[in-house]
Structure 1
Amino acid sequence: MNPRYAVLSALVALCGIWLSKYQTVTGIAGTAFLVIVIVIQIKRKSLLILCFLPLFFIYSQYDLKHSKSKIPHDQMIFTGQISTIPKIDGKMLRFYYETNNETIVVQHKMKSSIEKVQLSNLEINMTCMLKGNLKEPEQKSHFYGMNYPEYLKNKDIYWILETRDFNLDYCQMKNKLDFQDKIKLLRSRAIQQIESQFSKNTAGLMNALLFGYRDGIESGTLQAYQRLGLTHLLAVSGFNVGIVSFILYFFFVRVGIVKEFAYLIIIFFLPVYIVLTGGESSILRAGLMGIIVMLVMMFRKKVSPATLLSGVCIGMLVYHPSYSFELGFQLSFLMTFVLITSISLFQGRSYISLLIMTSFMCSLFSFPIILYHFYEFSIWSIPFNMIYIPFVSLVLFPISFVALVLAFSVPGVISHVSFFIEFVFEFSVTLLTYAQSLKGSIVLGRPATWLFVFYFISIFYFFYKWEVNKRFQLQLAIPFLLIILIHTFIPYFNSKATVTFLNVGQGDSILIELPYRKAVYLIDTGGTISFDKEDWEKREEEYDVTKEVVLPFLKAKGIREIDGMIISHGDMDHAGGATFLLENFKVNTVYLPVNQSDNELEETIQIAAQAKDIELIRLSKGMQWGTDQTFFYVLHPGSSPYSSNNGSIVLWVNLFNQRFLFTGDLEKEGEAEIMYNFNDLHADVLKIGHHGSATSSTDDFLKKLSPQYAIISAGKNNIYGHPAHEVVERLKHERIEIYRTDQHGDISFEVGKESLEIRTSQ
């Protein structure tokens, strides 16, 4: 088959699947453009290729329609098999579980250290009887957060089982394991063997390279790989398949086995290797291509690499259309396609030139995808890809392989070589950590769909012209650089203001963006309230809502600096993330309430601001700034002594014709003082004080303000019972429209001169 026809067929199939799920204007326009190109370029055979569009559209619709659970939601007793390596983090146990021919996620909260020790003996393939309640995965609660239900649905998983009681006595290893289960068990025990012989981080990296198992890598190391665009090196890929196949082929030929029989042995081994390395879409792609290449070599046929890649792509989409939405699938096929279609550029190049070119190509083509998922890129990405691709491939992977063989064959030798192995891996991590600390990350934000498309058009144009001209010309990069400039400056052409109430659980964090992004203000940072835990309960990395929610949101919006960080008061759920942001983000000014006896947290914030030479201003009643269209006025606190909550900064903000009132944790005493001082006060949008506590939002206050919308920031199923039932009833009685972060997730108000648009993430 003509390689061009094969590639276009695969692209059309992908378009059919994507359109069946996301029928966006950009997607439809892009598909229409592809159809026009095919008709003009291919003419007679275009109809045959275009048939893939409706076929895969209908097939994907059929797959989506029939992708539903057959397990009743009220079922409480289950018998099934553990299908993934059980993961213990603190007091939480988690694994995938196959029951009734369906996979569900099991989550168990352990009650004691004794139970934790007992359940650490769980293994993959064990058959267990479980009791518990099924619940649906929680809906996406952040605009730029992970869509966990969709992620699970793409794996045909629809339920999470929260167990009531779980004991190792309820589990036993199957008497008869099939071949695939034996391979999975071998993989699990090999991973455990590596973990028992090396430090946590070294073992995590080795297991990622050998088995595609990344759960053991420390978060700081994984973050360094992500920020430098090196995550692809931690995924088992085509290179691993090539190395393993070459080693096997070399060994078989050396012992006298004929080439054809050696090919046949490798063909039978590669499916085993796919299961052994986790069976993710990237390794499945590489394994299938390896098998077909071996068959082609056996029968001495010729197949274009592009045709082979396209055929495997279409085959995988037929088997499981949802593969197309996986990041691993997208990157694996894109990078492979780029390299096999750029062979003419590689001819006659030295090893160093090839290394530079392949690193440059992979970095450039993955650029839009990296931006979409991580919102920033590092200028060190290309040089570090040049260093780390050969280093990982020719040093870390072989060392890991040899260490695995030694761990199983002569484990006593490991103690003599572990120092060297640890040194090599720790050196690689130290180098990455140092590189990450250098100023080189540029935040652009998540590109809009149309920008995403234009990024790829400009990149393909760059390489197409390079191949046609047979030489590198810097001016070919002008369209790509122009797209980056457009991406960078788009927010500064937005004439609307935006106020976003971030879902930070039981806390507050509100982002205000002025028109044309003239200024960005963050009111409170959220903060994770920590409770005393025993050692066995502590997670490998405790959850930090500011790190996991607020910082990614800022980056996703393309925000590179905060003009003003306003801390309403020094409670942990409002200010707990302030020092983290001051250390990891550019902040120009910090605002704290005036005339309060600073608590320990406020003192820490003040010290952190001074250490960074950041201006610190104390806000008090009557202070104001802005213009007629974007005006800020401080209503509280005054000069009187207050309790912590009633000492909150209360800020009245006018954005065009919409008036917002932000009240922190203000209670009824503070509300009464504001009503006394500001008789004509009104607000269109009221941030309800103290998370909807019964001590706030009195009838008089609500009637005085007469807001149209009320925002309650509270954690889902929080232990305080916020918001109080009586507060909700008061709001309903006043016919105020209620938005709650525990029910709606992130809440955004986009304010124009004569418009108001409200969006939520749920």
Structure 2
Amino acid sequence: MHQRILLLTSLIVATVSGLVYQCNSVTITLFLLMVGILLKLKSFKLLLVITMITLPFLSYFIYDNHQLEQINKMQPDSYVTGYMFADDIEVDGDNLKAVAYLRHHEKVKLYWKVPTQKEKQWLETNTSTLYFHANVKQTVIPPATNFNQFDAQKFYKTQKIVHQATVQQWSYSKQSDDNFKPNFLIDNLRQWHARALGQVAQLPQPLANYAQALLLGTTPKSLYSDNPGISTLGLIHLFSVSGFQVSYIITTLMSLARRLRMIKEYAVIFLMMILIMFYIFVGAPAILVRAVVAGELALLSLGYKGFNLSATSIWAISLLASLVVAPQLLLTLGGQLSFLLTFCLLFSRHLSFWQSNLLMGIVMFPLITHQQFTWHLLEIPINFLAIPLFEIIIVPSIFVGVWQIPFITSFVNQLIHLFASIIDTVASLPLNCVVGKLAWPFVLLLLILAMLSFTNKKTTARIARMTWLITLILGIIWVRFPLHGEVSLFDIGQGDAILVRLPFNQNVTLIDTGGKVNFGEENWQRLKYSRPKGETVIINYLHSRGISKVNQLVLTHQDQDHIGDAYIILQKMAVDRVIIPKGMRQQPAFAQKIKPYLKQRTQVIETTDNDTQQNMPLKVLYPFESGHGKNEDCIALYGEFGGKRFLTSGDLDKAGEEKICQKYPNLKLDILKFGHHGSKTSTSSEAIKQWCPQYGLVSAGRNNRYHHPHQETLDLAQQQKLIVYNTQINGMITYVPRI
């Protein structure tokens, strides 16, 4: 009975936490589902007990969320005092990023441009807590500005961080000049952690990356950039300090205690203290609470015969404890996977090893694809093999390899290198399928059906498996064959990228790709681990819509901010045709930025307005003749979607626009994408008067050095009574044509 109360209470508290922090269709449905299960039990006493236990948690969640909302509304200070743990500081290029603890007990994300290479080197080797006084520009962490993009605001809110602070001027040191400092024990453990990270970083790669992630709970950015197969094959969940590392610590230290002939009860108390210190040592990650609580309860059961809890009760208590420490843990993918997979293990003891792993695989599937939109066909079998390999070989080997005994460390590194190479080779096989972002009802139904698929009742299991497959097929069809098309301007900063897709995804055209322009940076200032927006924004969105192929990639001209990320599109997407202005193929920019990344099946087409492009929903209006791929040679494209006439022309200047007016005197528009990001060199007043557009669209970066869009362009738009949408203000702009 107690076990049942604990389990049901933990589940209802989990749904209540979701309801308080993110009240939406998903969390409401889950809460109502749990209420329905409780009412179906028809036990007033059970319902009363669970309600009484849940109420304090509800009060705590409401209070905590209210505090976060108050911080969010608070007028940020421009002068702050605080400290940063050394293991919370990241330096990439000349960018410093850290978690800072301010005097009024708020946690913020802190950013700073490191001025010199010498200072960068000092910060990279520092292992002490740094205390600072700073003038900062403090703002609320911005939300995602593109559909289905990673939302930093939501993510950091789960860590109780709502503000970011950009340092304008500051002073920092290793010594606090007042009494504002962290707890002595926490401070020292975090400094030891920073030193350990520094020592492990000296190991050869990939051993250093694996050791930092699996032993010290810090995942270096180089781990995923150097080993892309980890993400592709869904092995990320293995690279966080979790249950089996805690088990190794308990097993190893308990074995040592026996050898030293310690009294069991004393050994248990000692190990419980060690576990708590280890939790603080690795940075107190919320995801580790479950493993630590489960370890503590297992130790109590081992040391005291009267204290005996079932695995189900331990799971329930660890969930409740985790929600106290991190109330929004289950709103993160890591938290969802951690508790859902261990929940599956509780009820799969009757299953074989392979059945148990298959169950975990199909449970992971909807959660991972809902956020990553792709699924490698070998993901489940690779996880079958990788999980026992990690427990039996990889983690024990790393424990030994970090002691830097020359021959042993070299052997372990070769072993890890072999494992990593196999993972990357398997991931590179053309078996990565674009699933798309499944609608949440499909995700929820897939999760429920997955757990019913391995029930003891064979008939129920058989029906659940068949229904799971049908649900998956319907979910994929729903995503990949939408009834409506779209015209979208991505918010990719200072650049252009436009998507035009027809209903049912029958034709997909991408116009330009954006690309970061570097202005005379030295090598030490360049980011090593940044991912281009062509990948994080454009490809991410295409995959979320179930798009695996681009029919036409139109590159309007050769400027970096229009074609700089074309390479990543060509690498990671199937592209049928690359369309460029006539004459651009002979330019160095094409040879350097496009040609090396072309696949054999991709056709390159040079065009003018005299050429007809087969199966393309847009007509080329410009250029009229061969050029050099410069602004004055830009491709201008016209199309009609859902009764709205649309024109985009890259960075074409006023002279080019006026030439279009002369050649196409009857051209009228509803939507005009302003040329050259709203620069005064584009958007001719004569053209605007002739075209009579109703809407004007601007694609430009926030606080860009060119001050785009120019006030002259905005004044012209106001005079002509255009409704203007700007990616700087509105983020991604999408027009969905009516059928």
Q: Considering the TM-score relative to the shorter chain, is it more than 0.5?
A: yes
Provide the residue aligned with 2:488 in structure 1: 500
Kindly state the Cα deviation for residue 178 of structure 1 after the two structures are TM-superposed: 1.6
Deviations 1:581-622 (A, max 9, x none): 222211122222235564223345664576422223333225
Provide the residue aligned with 1:447 in structure 2: 438
Deviations 1:429-481 (A, max 9, x none): 111111111112111012221121111122122122xx2239986x7522222
Deviations 1:291-345 (A, max 9, x none): 1222233143332222221122123324442223222222111111111221122
Kindly state the Cα deviation for residue 209 of structure 1 after the two structures are TM-superposed: 0.6
Distance 2:519 2:415 in 1: 38
Q: Does the alignment pair 1:259 with 2:264?
A: yes
* Equivalent of residue 708 in structure 1, options 687, 694, 699: 694
The amino acid across from 2:63 in the alignment is Y
* Partner secondary structure for residue 285 of structure 1: helix
TM-score by length of 1: 0.90
Go from structure 1 to structure 2 and tell me whether the alpha carbon gap of 1:233 and 1:502 turns closer, same or farther (over 3 Å shift).
Answer: same
Go from structure 1 to structure 2 and tell me whether the alpha carbon gap of 1:142 and 1:631 turns closer, same or farther (over 3 Å shift).
Answer: closer
Q: Does the alignment pair 1:49 with 2:38?
A: no
Q: Does the alignment pair 1:432 with 2:423?
A: yes
Deviations 1:384-423 (A, max 9, x none): 212222222222212222234x35xxxxxx3343321221
The amino acid across from 1:555 in the alignment is H
* Equivalent of residue 479 in structure 1, options 442, 464, 467: 467
RMSD, aligned α-carbons? 2.7
The amino acid across from 1:89 in the alignment is D
* Partner secondary structure for residue 307 of structure 2: coil
Residue ranges of structure 2 left out of the alignment (5+ in a row): none
Go from structure 1 to structure 2 and tell me whether the alpha carbon gap of 1:579 and 1:609 turns closer, same or farther (over 3 Å shift).
Answer: same
The amino acid across from 2:377 in the alignment is I
Kindly state the Cα deviation for residue 160 of structure 1 after the two structures are TM-superposed: 2.2
Kindly state the Cα deviation for residue 26 of structure 1 after the two structures are TM-superposed: 4.6
The amino acid across from 2:408 in the alignment is V
Go from structure 1 to structure 2 and tell me whether the alpha carbon gap of 1:36 and 1:262 turns closer, same or farther (over 3 Å shift).
Answer: same
Task: Name which of structure 1's ranges 139-148 and 331-340 shifts more when overlaid on structure 2.
Answer: 139-148
Q: Residues 187-206 of structure 1 correspond to what in structure 2 (within 5 A)?
A: 187-196=193-202, 198-206=203-211
Distance 2:84 2:16 in 1: 36
Distance 2:196 2:439 in 1: 43
Provide the residue aligned with 2:157 in structure 1: 153
Deviations 1:521-561 (A, max 9, x none): 11112222234432321222354221222121211221111
State the aligned residue count. Answer: 732
Deviations 1:137-181 (A, max 9, x none): 233222122221222222222332222345565756999962222
Go from structure 1 to structure 2 and tell me whether the alpha carbon gap of 1:89 and 1:267 turns closer, same or farther (over 3 Å shift).
Answer: same
Distance 1:554 1:483 in 2: 22
Go from structure 1 to structure 2 and tell me whether the alpha carbon gap of 1:394 and 1:510 turns closer, same or farther (over 3 Å shift).
Answer: same
Provide the residue aligned with 1:350 in structure 2: none
The amino acid across from 1:35 in the alignment is V
Q: Does the alignment pair 1:111 with 2:115?
A: yes
* Partner secondary structure for residue 486 of structure 2: strand
Could you tell me whether the CA contact under 8 Å between 1:500 and 1:512 is conserved in 2? Answer: yes
Distance 1:649 1:54 in 2: 63
The amino acid across from 1:316 in the alignment is S
* Equivalent of residue 395 in structure 1, options 386, 393, 396: 393
Could you tell me whether the CA contact under 8 Å between 2:489 and 2:498 is conserved in 1? Answer: yes
Q: Residues 401-550 of structure 1 correspond to what in structure 2 (within 5 A)?
A: 401-404=399-402, 406-407=403-404, 414-464=405-455, 467-469=456-458, 476-491=464-479, 493-550=481-538
Go from structure 1 to structure 2 and tell me whether the alpha carbon gap of 1:631 and 1:511 turns closer, same or farther (over 3 Å shift).
Answer: closer
Could you tell me whether the CA contact under 8 Å between 2:450 and 2:464 is conserved in 1? Answer: no
Q: Residues 343-358 of structure 1 correspond to what in structure 2 (within 5 A)?
A: 343-346=349-352, 354=353, 356-358=354-356
The amino acid across from 1:69 in the alignment is I
The amino acid across from 1:146 in the alignment is F
Q: Does the alignment pair 1:38 with 2:25?
A: no
Kindly state the Cα deviation for residue 251 of structure 1 after the two structures are TM-superposed: 1.6
Provide the residue aligned with 1:411 in structure 2: none
Kindly state the Cα deviation for residue 512 of structure 1 after the two structures are TM-superposed: 1.3
* Equivalent of residue 652 in structure 1, options 638, 646, 651: 638
Could you tell me whether the CA contact under 8 Å between 1:84 and 1:96 is conserved in 2? Answer: no
Kindly state the Cα deviation for residue 248 of structure 1 after the two structures are TM-superposed: 1.4
Provide the residue aligned with 2:344 in structure 1: 338
Deviations 1:492-527 (A, max 9, x none): 553212111111111111111201221111111222
* Partner secondary structure for residue 696 of structure 2: strand
Could you tell me whether the CA contact under 8 Å between 2:725 and 2:733 is conserved in 1? Answer: yes
Q: Residues 206-285 of structure 1 correspond to what in structure 2 (within 5 A)?
A: 206-215=211-220, 217-285=222-290
Provide the residue aligned with 2:71 in structure 1: 69
Go from structure 1 to structure 2 and tell me whether the alpha carbon gap of 1:500 and 1:123 turns closer, same or farther (over 3 Å shift).
Answer: same
Go from structure 1 to structure 2 and tell me whether the alpha carbon gap of 1:384 and 1:268 turns closer, same or farther (over 3 Å shift).
Answer: same
Kindly state the Cα deviation for residue 687 of structure 1 after the two structures are TM-superposed: 0.9
Go from structure 1 to structure 2 and tell me whether the alpha carbon gap of 1:701 and 1:571 turns closer, same or farther (over 3 Å shift).
Answer: same
Could you tell me whether the CA contact under 8 Å between 1:496 and 1:515 is conserved in 2? Answer: yes
Kindly state the Cα deviation for residue 566 of structure 1 after the two structures are TM-superposed: 1.5
Task: Name which of structure 1's ranges 363-372 and 159-168 shifts more when overlaid on structure 2.
Answer: 159-168
* Partner secondary structure for residue 427 of structure 1: helix
TM-score by length of 2: 0.92
Provide the residue aligned with 1:312 in structure 2: 318
Task: Name which of structure 1's ranges 655-664 and 226-235 shifts more when overlaid on structure 2.
Answer: 655-664
Distance 1:625 1:611 in 2: 20
Distance 2:182 2:693 in 1: 67
* Equivalent of residue 545 in structure 2, options 554, 557, 571: 557
* Equivalent of residue 581 in structure 1, options 569, 574, 579: 569
Could you tell me whether the CA contact under 8 Å between 2:214 and 2:240 is conserved in 1? Answer: yes
Distance 1:122 1:569 in 2: 46
* Equivalent of residue 306 in structure 2, options 300, 304, 319: 300
* Partner secondary structure for residue 445 of structure 2: helix
The amino acid across from 2:290 in the alignment is R
Provide the residue aligned with 2:10 in structure 1: 10
Distance 1:578 1:301 in 2: 62
Could you tell me whether the CA contact under 8 Å between 1:141 and 1:746 is conserved in 2? Answer: yes
Could you tell me whether the CA contact under 8 Å between 1:7 and 1:306 is conserved in 2? Answer: yes
Distance 2:52 2:457 in 1: 31
The amino acid across from 2:94 in the alignment is K
Go from structure 1 to structure 2 and tell me whether the alpha carbon gap of 1:167 and 1:127 turns closer, same or farther (over 3 Å shift).
Answer: closer
Could you tell me whether the CA contact under 8 Å between 1:345 and 1:470 is conserved in 2? Answer: no
Residue ranges of structure 1 left out of the alignment (5+ in a row): 347-353, 408-413, 754-762
Q: Does the alignment pair 1:383 with 2:400?
A: no
Go from structure 1 to structure 2 and tell me whether the alpha carbon gap of 1:135 and 1:201 turns closer, same or farther (over 3 Å shift).
Answer: farther
Go from structure 1 to structure 2 and tell me whether the alpha carbon gap of 1:569 and 1:51 turns closer, same or farther (over 3 Å shift).
Answer: farther
* Partner secondary structure for residue 142 of structure 1: coil
Kindly state the Cα deviation for residue 693 of structure 1 after the two structures are TM-superposed: 0.7
Distance 2:106 2:329 in 1: 18
Distance 2:629 2:225 in 1: 39
Could you tell me whether the CA contact under 8 Å between 1:134 and 1:159 is conserved in 2? Answer: yes
Distance 2:309 2:584 in 1: 76
* Partner secondary structure for residue 751 of structure 1: coil
The amino acid across from 1:377 in the alignment is W
* Partner secondary structure for residue 309 of structure 2: coil
Could you tell me whether the CA contact under 8 Å between 1:609 and 1:616 is conserved in 2? Answer: no
* Partner secondary structure for residue 682 of structure 1: coil
* Equivalent of residue 665 in structure 1, options 637, 648, 651: 651
Q: Does the alignment pair 1:721 with 2:724?
A: no
Distance 1:452 1:239 in 2: 28
Provide the residue aligned with 1:410 in structure 2: none
* Equivalent of residue 739 in structure 1, options 718, 722, 725: 725
Provide the residue aligned with 1:351 in structure 2: none
